[in-house]
Amino acid sequence: MRDFVDITEIDRNIIEHLFEMSDMIINRHMHIRKNNILDGKNIILAFFEPSTRTRLSFEIAVKRLGADALTVVGEEAVSLSKGESFGDTLRMFDILGDLLVLRHKYDGAAKYAAEMVKIPVINAGDGKNQHPTQAIIDLYTVYKRLGQIDGLNYAVVGDLRYARTAHSFLLALTHFEPKNVYLVSPPQLKPSESLIAELRERGLQFYLSENLEEVIDMVDVIYVTRIQKERFPDPEEYEKVKGSYRLTYEMIKNRKDIIVLHPLPRVDELDTRIDNTQAAAYFDQVRNAVPVRMSVVAWSAGVEL
């Protein structure tokens, strides 16, 4: 049984193994019917922050694997709202569950949980830090669409300071050999110094840019993120940058070979006219979420398919 909390600790071999498991799940249609792989297991889905796609796809993944999904949504659903500590809540999950899927508003919450409990912990998003299962979905989508991850040029666009999906995607890329990676954001939303140092140490070849149009012709994959309004300490700062870095249909209409990723939800950073083009890969990401999360849950539970 293994934790899945930090994408830097999930190496390339494991990622490729998860891709193979996901392929197998799709080829055998395991993601659209119930299986008995984790029969009798109680999997706790504790979502202390709002979530739609991640929670739904985890719930479906757990049920398709044959386990019971015990979902806790919001702090008011457990005794945290009565003053119980997070530590005690985790101890309770440890006793009652066989595996914990955790989303929490604090950075590092999943790592702390993994230290506290004996059951495996899967990070379903911790504050602005990481969202490692989304990174596997994103890379799997690139791999299925373009047949490779190595050797491609990437632009990661938008909120690189607060978007955990962008952080995890970039850190996941460090396990591969992308050609060039362009980090495109307004100055206020540049990656933190800590993330830049981490990417540099891990050998990623990247360039910082403030102009999306300047890099668009050089990339194969554009990863667009939402401006994270809820994580801005100052609402005025949010007002200054919202709506910037919008990817429009005109910007990609002549590019037949490009794909556009977005972890969703989107606000106005992604032109809806892109939805019906070949470039749109973001609904593939949603489609891939269940088989990939089935793979992660099975891997974390120590089960081979």
Partner 1 sequence: MSKKELKVSRIKNGTVIDHIPAGRAMEVLRILKITGKEGFMVLIAMNVYSKKLKGKKDIIKIEGKFLSDKETAAISLVAPTATINIIKDGEVKEKKGVKAPTLVEGILKCPNPVCVSRIERENISSKFIKVSENPLTYKCVYCGTRIEESDIPKYLNM
Residues found near partner 1 in the complex (CB under 8 A): 85-87, 104-109, 111-112, 126-129, 192-195, 197-198, 201
Structure tokens at 224: 């667009």
Paired with 157 in beta bridges are 184, 224
Q: Which is nearer to partner 1, 7 or 298 (CB)?
A: 7
Q: Which is nearer to partner 1, 22 or 123 (CB)?
A: 123
In angstroms, give the least distance from the CB of 130 to partner 1. 8
In angstroms, give the least distance from the CB of 232 to partner 1. 12
Query: Does a cis peptide bond (omega within 30 degrees of 0) precede residue 265?
Result: yes
Q: Which is nearer to partner 1, 32 or 197 (CB)?
A: 197
User: Strand 121-126 and strand 42-47: pairing?
Assistant: unpaired
Structure tokens at 170: 């970039």
Q: Which is nearer to partner 1, 214 or 230 (CB)?
A: 230
Half-sphere exposure of 43 (CA within 13 A, CB side): 28
In angstroms, give the least distance from the CB of 305 to partner 1. 32
Of 221, 150, 143, nearest to 184 by C-alpha is 221
d(C-alpha 161, C-alpha 43), whole Å: 32
In angstroms, give the least distance from the CB of 85 to partner 1. 6
In angstroms, give the least distance from the CB of 128 to partner 1. 7
Q: Which helix (H) or strand (E) holds 17?
A: helix 12-27
Q: Which is nearer to partner 1, 30 or 109 (CB)?
A: 109
Half-sphere exposure of 231 (CA within 13 A, CB side): 19
Q: How far is CA 12 from CA 76, 102, 171, 176, in A?
A: 39, 23, 12, 7
Q: Which is nearer to partner 1, 198 or 210 (CB)?
A: 198
Query: Which residues contact residue 123 at a Cβ distance below 8 angstroms, ignoring those fewer than 6 apart?
Result: 4, 5, 6, 102, 110, 111, 130, 131, 132, 133
In angstroms, give the least distance from the CB of 69 to partner 1. 25
Q: Which is nearer to partner 1, 200 or 253 (CB)?
A: 200
In angstroms, give the least distance from the CB of 219 to partner 1. 26
